[in-house]
Amino acid sequence: MQSLARHRDLIASHSSVAWHYQETPGDHWDYTSTQPMILADISIDGAPRKVILHAPKNGFFFVIDRTNGKFISAKNFVDVNWATGYDANGRPVEVPAARGDAAYDSIPGPYGAHNWHPMSFNPQTGLVYLPAQNVPLNLIPEKKFKQNAATPGKFGGATGWNVGFVLNGEPPKSLPFGRLVAWDPVKQKEAWRVEYPSPWNGGTLTTAGNLVFQGTADGRFVAYDATTGKTLWETPTGTGVVAAASTYMLDGVQYVSIAVGWGGVYGMAQRATERQSPGTVYTFALNGKAPLPEFVKYQTEGLLQGVKYDPKDVPEGTALYVAACATCHGVPGVDKGGNVRNLGYVPAEEIANLKNIVFKGPFRDKGMPDFTGKLTEADVVKIQAFIQGTADAIRPKK
């Protein structure tokens, strides 16, 4: 979500820049344009055009002449509220409130209407198959922004999130969704769609056999009719899928392979399946008979109990947890957890010895930050109180 790449331009280059087109001038919402691009030859107004097809995070589908960078068209493929459209010169017509000082439900938000998950183009149908989504997020501009400030109560404030906004300081009002959109780049309109239970679904593959393959966040690998969107076949995968499939021929047999594993920034703390599995490559062929591997249920039993704490520490612990822990671990016992465990379902000894984990701890090689200098031992005691206090608060009463 917070991309290290701050570049917002499409650039065609050999030894020097030949042209560029800027999709989101003065980007205010983390709408990176690093999503996959497709080179296609299509007919527009009866004339053949060599184009780039692009659906970045900002929610608009762009058709750009790839020979000279000239803007051809842009149309939103999901609902957006930061701009009403693009003018004839390829400039967005912005909604003034989207750059205001007040809290703003950004649609799409920084997770993007389309993130890095690849889309695909089928020249036979003339359609692009696009993983679209909404992850609700409310943005409040930080008027007194300070880089790397470990501010209690600021979402991600102790983890280096320098977005210049307070995230979800007010509850967002938009609804989450995930969907597969078949998009006509000539008509700039949707041809069909499939709704999913969750955002963060996998990339797409389309074939000359009039098929579209996609893995889903809720643990399926599905084949659709590329023309109509009708489901033709599906299989469980045990865990959510974010990658795109590939297809190849070997000794006259066509295979379709998909790397299955749940992750990415959204997938750290959220998921849409009750099963999990290690990263696995599945390969399918007609008349294949190999059995699927065993799927393991996520651990969401054994709600944390037994960690001693002072209830008076819970309010301050809440603010510290929001700043240091919530971005990856979610709310203890409330969120399900993703590829990072929810702290409401870890062994009690891990929470009781939390300082040995957050300060130069054993999970640094797996991506966990070292909070040395950002938290104190007294802070950790208060975080322990919030974690165990929350688990106690939601525990079913006998």
pLDDT, tens digit (0-9, with 9 covering 90-100), for 116-158: 999 999 999 999 999 999 999 999 888 888 887 778 888 888 8
Give which of 319, 380, 385 is closest to 355, Cα–Cα.
380
Q: Which helix (H) or strand (E) holds 383?
A: helix 377-394
pLDDT digits (tens, 9 = 90+) for 258-311: 999 999 989 988 999 988 777 899 999 999 989 988 888 776 678 999 999 999
Which pLDDT does position 15 carry in this prediction?
Answer: 64
pLDDT bin (cut points 50, 70, 90) of residue 244 is very high
Any residues with CB less than 8 A from the CB of 258 and at least 6 apart, and which? 202, 213, 215, 221, 237, 241, 243, 244, 245, 246, 281, 282
Whether 226 contacts 212, CB under 8 Å:
yes
- Domains annotated for the chain, with CATH where assigned, are 9-137+172-297 (2.140.10.10), 311-394 (1.10.760.10)
Cα torsion through 340, 345, 348, 352, rounded to 10: 50
Distance CA 34, CA 54 (A): 10
Distance CA 143, CA 86 (A): 29
Average of pLDDT values for 349-359? 96
Average of pLDDT values for 369-376? 93
Whether 358 contacts 371, CB under 8 Å:
yes
Looking at the predicted structure, is the pLDDT value of residue 184 above 80?
yes
Catalytic residue among 27, 30, 101, 392: 30
Q: Is 30 a catalytic residue?
A: yes
Report the 10 Å Cβ neighbour count for 147. 7
pLDDT bin (cut points 50, 70, 90) of residue 182 is very high
